[in-house]
Structure 1
């Protein structure tokens, strides 16, 4: 059985809200609310893959502390764009 687009977006939104660290809850929930509905199937699959990564790694990529893997460069850039003040003071 394949997952519908609506079910996938709902699942990704929930996974964005229930992370291991509060900062990631805030950052990814805001991103999910603003962007998931308009993302392509390929972008949704990549975001799903990103959510399987370690929260501390994702947080470091967004905050610029760690080099971003090529696979996620564009996606992390989009997420980081809306994360100012959460990853480091504005």
Structure 2
């Protein structure tokens, strides 16, 4: 999930956004997924435009 997000948005991420992603990577993958899909509340430290973009899930390819 995070890899797909970074792959799509890397060219537009500034230093602050990269630091945000690096902090997020320290969290448990299961927690991140729950926050993104909305089954658990996202901590305030991660709320904002980057998290909103991550919740759109438009960076994931779903094979059908």
| TM-score, normalization by structure 2 | 0.78
| Structure 1 residues without counterparts, runs of 5 or longer | 1-26
**Rg larger for:** 1
Question: Residue in 2 aligned with 1:82?
Answer: 57
Q: Size of the alignment, in residue pairs?
A: 60
CA contact under 8 A between 1:61 and 1:68: conserved in structure 2? yes
CA contact under 8 A between 1:60 and 1:66: conserved in structure 2? yes
| Structure 2 residues without counterparts, runs of 5 or longer | none
Question: Residue in 1 aligned with 2:31?
Answer: 57
Q: 1:10-49, aligned counterparts within 5 Å?
A: 27-49=1-23
Provide the alpha-carbon RMSD of the alignment. 2.1
Task: Judging by fraction of residues, say which structure has more helix.
Answer: 1
